[in-house]
Structure 1
Amino acid sequence: MSNEIAVSPPTSSPTGGDVTPAATWTPVAALTSGTTVLVTSEFLPAGVLPKMAADVGVSDGVAGLAIAVTAIAGAVTAPTIALVLPRADRRTVLVALLAAGAVANITVSAAPNFAVLLLGRLLLGIALAGFWSFAFGAGVTVAPCRSSVVSTALAFGVSLATVLGVPLAALVGNDVGWRAAFAGATVICAGAATWLACTLPPVPAHPSAGLPMLREAVGNRRLMAGIGCVVLVAFGNFAAYPYIRLAIERVTSSHTTWLLVAWGLGGMAGNVIAGALAARLRPLAAGGPALLGLSLVVTAMADAPVQLVIGIVLWGFAFNMVPVATQLWVTRVEPERAESAMSLQVTAFQVAITAGAAIGGVLLDAHGARSPLLVGAAVALAAGLGFGLLRLPAADSSVTARRAGGATP
């Protein structure tokens, strides 16, 4: 595949600025494949948790730390990777991070004990957070003035990971073994790195990337209030999600894999709907967390398969609205420093995943599968209220197009 992007003469944006339209979406598709495989890798333990825990000699609650340590590494990486690599070409960094993801997965696949497994998961956290921090900017660089489409595409990778990755891991884990699931993720990750290297053009860093950009973004009070809401909604989800299989098996054990697929299908629908509602960003950002809270309550209180299906599908639908909404929210609030705003959003997610998985594991071991869902529901509802109270500045598509990526169109 060619990595050339045909360029037509500049045209006027709706706000009066000149932009250069991209003639191919192939690089965006390659970026989406990267998010798919890395997010699949992050949540593989959720699909194979009982067998993985038994094999390495830990409880189900402790095994949930395999997700938490990935998030810890991500929380540290997201705000610092641009400081370490302020001038590095973003294409080179993104390809290297996918390669690191492949190394992380093969390490987990071959891990002789839980300690080595955690080392592999730490490396995956670095790869995932770094990739998320730079992927949106790279996507907007090759597809200027289409930030909502780029955000939806990247978030679609998350939905695809949940609809295919976790259920497929459960199938492979049951039939072949959990180690085979991670070995397969290694191969797919290497393939995604190759595709990205062949299709994404060079993406120079933004001139102010690094500490100056991050310092100014952190000084934006409205942005930081929104980041706090991101922490809450992500915590609400990930207090429960690592233990979704156990929540399903509390009601039925004969349809686990198909209910995981249903979660992902609901997520794909939520992802598309969120992209379609991008113009109504404030109610979208508030409604997603509120709906997530409701879905977790329905799932926790389900005592029959029909109720469980409703809760699971609604859960997937609601949560997968959140990545699209929050990406667009932070870049609306900080269009001039979108790369740093995105890194803070990624950090918020990873901090919340760390805390959510750890606290959810404690609640699971102490009180059973319902408890993490109900606690997550309360926190998600608080996030929805927070986003509802925060005002947004008017959209400026020309600024977003110019500043979100490394290069200026």
Structure 2
Amino acid sequence: MASSSPHARTALDTVDRPSWTPIVALSAAMAMLVASEFLPASVLPALAADIGVSEGVAGLAVAATAIAGAITAPSIAVLLPRTDRRTMLVGLLAAGSVANLVVAAAPNFAVLLAGRLLLGVAIAGAWSFAFGAGVHAMGGRERAVSSGVAFGVSLATVVGVPVAAIVGDQIGWRAAFGGAAALTAVTAAGVARALPPVPAHPGAGIGMLREALRHRRLLAGAGCIVLVAFGNFAAYPYIRIATERIDPGATTWLLVAWGVGGVAGTVLAGVVAVRLRLLAALAPTLLGVSLLVAATASTVPVLTAAIVLWGLAFNMVPVATQLWVTRVESERVESAMSLQVTAFQVAITAGSAAGGALLDAYGVRWPFVVGAVAAVAAGLGFALLRIPAR
């Protein structure tokens, strides 16, 4: 038989190698939403002083997004079971932009919390649908999609968090939120253009969620996700306060170091994901170690090492847990993802609230110590849970 023509081979290559534009768009979208979620940690002292609340209370600006997210993640697919997922993602990003504008203009803490609640709806909904939409667009490349979405989280921390800190210091914390609003609107337009239509799963709705909730191993994994996310967010809203305790001048660069570690963690997670059980146990354990070292550090080099390890470990967690829940519950991926997001949001609420209480009562070290214990417990839990082979 004659060999195929160059034109035929080119067409075949195009089919075999789909455009990566959808993953780039989703990664940018998640970067902006996560950067928005973590913005209060970048500007916490100035925000608290301007609004007139303690730094511990101001940390609840992170918890507020999580409260809304915990409610939204399991319910949004139930309320809108047939809506195209691209349309939903674009609408949620638009809501995130509006939420940042509300915070930027907030005259008091109550209005600020309202904006953060709206942001929580946007983040939880986007997390619930981004993975499935990406897999649909990329022909089932789960590891690539998970790593791409997680890379957006790392990008938010390596660029968004320190840039927000600089903008907050030089111009004002309100300008940081205003800039986030504009950039989130841009990513909404990018997703609308780059992502193909993504029809809802035929079984989406309350029935799919009910079946997922009967899966005991999935629920046990969700409990471990709660522990590891609680551990991180008991400490993360107060990272700036912890760094300023040792060297106020190094704060911005230590935030960059956290993000650099995060980029490395995302890449490493994509590699180690072939041994998913190991990855799921390793990431929380390393997180616990990093938090304990950060809590006891007394010099900048030790604190820097702890923060880099912290960023690396925590940014392995989204990749690990996304792949873990979708491996354990492969028939109901959307519901499994919503359960993962709910677990994260519940833990963010509890963690940031507990961390704020510990900070105000005992000082900045205790949120880190408590977070370390919870993270190590999560690692042990994942080590004990078996997952199906592919």
TM-score, normalised to structure 1's length? 0.92
1:317 is aligned to 312
**What is the Cα deviation at residue 22 of structure 1?**
5.8
Name the aligned partner's letter for residue 377 of structure 1. A
- Give matches, 1:289-308, under 5 Å: 289-308=284-303
Matching residue within 159, 173, 193 for 2:188: 193
2:174 is aligned to 179
Matching residue within 253, 256, 280 for 1:285: 280
Name the aligned partner's letter for residue 120 of structure 1. G
2:87 is aligned to 92
**What is the Cα deviation at residue 251 of structure 1?**
1.0
Matching residue within 45, 53, 60 for 1:50: 45
CA distance in 2, matches of 1:42, 1:331: 24
- Give matches, 1:16-165, under 5 Å: 21=16, 23-165=18-160
How high is the sequence identity, in percent, across the aligned residues?
67
Name the aligned partner's letter for residue 150 of structure 1. V
CA distance in 2, matches of 1:269, 1:8: 35
CA distance in 2, matches of 1:353, 1:190: 25
Answer 1 or 2: which has greater helix percent.
2
CA distance in 2, matches of 1:21, 1:251: 53
In 2, are the aligned partners of 1:21 and 1:144 still within 8 Å (CA)? no
Q: Deviations over 1:213-258 (max 9, x none)?
A: 1111111101100000000000000000000000111111111000
CA distance in 2, matches of 1:314, 1:167: 17
Structure 1 stretches of at least 4 aligned residues deviating more than 3 Å after TM superposition: 7-10
Change (3 A) 1:100 1:244: same
Change (3 A) 1:8 1:126: farther
Q: Deviations over 1:332-361 (max 9, x none)?
A: 001110000000000000000000000000
For residue 206 of structure 1, give the secondary structure of its aligned residue in structure 2. Answer: coil
Of stretches 21-30 and 346-355 in structure 1, the one that deviates more from structure 2 is: 21-30
1:226 is aligned to 221
- What is the RMSD of the two structures over their aligned residues, measured on CA atoms? 1.2
Matching residue within 323, 335, 346 for 1:351: 346
2:231 is the alignment partner of 1:236: yes
Name the aligned partner's letter for residue 41 of structure 1. S
**What is the Cα deviation at residue 21 of structure 1?**
4.9
Q: Deviations over 1:82-135 (max 9, x none)?
A: 001100000100000000000000000000111000000000000000000000
1:4 is aligned to none
For residue 19 of structure 2, give the secondary structure of its aligned residue in structure 1. Answer: coil
For residue 197 of structure 2, give the secondary structure of its aligned residue in structure 1. Answer: coil
Runs of at least 5 residues in structure 1 that lack an aligned partner in the other structure: 1-6, 11-19, 396-409
TM-score, normalised to structure 2's length? 0.96
CA distance in 2, matches of 1:74, 1:135: 15
Name the aligned partner's letter for residue 92 of structure 1. T
2:368 is aligned to 373
CA distance in 1, matches of 2:81, 2:11: 30
For residue 176 of structure 2, give the secondary structure of its aligned residue in structure 1. Answer: helix
**What is the Cα deviation at residue 145 of structure 1?**
2.8
Runs of at least 5 residues in structure 2 that lack an aligned partner in the other structure: 1-9
Aligned residues: 380
In 2, are the aligned partners of 1:270 and 1:316 still within 8 Å (CA)? yes
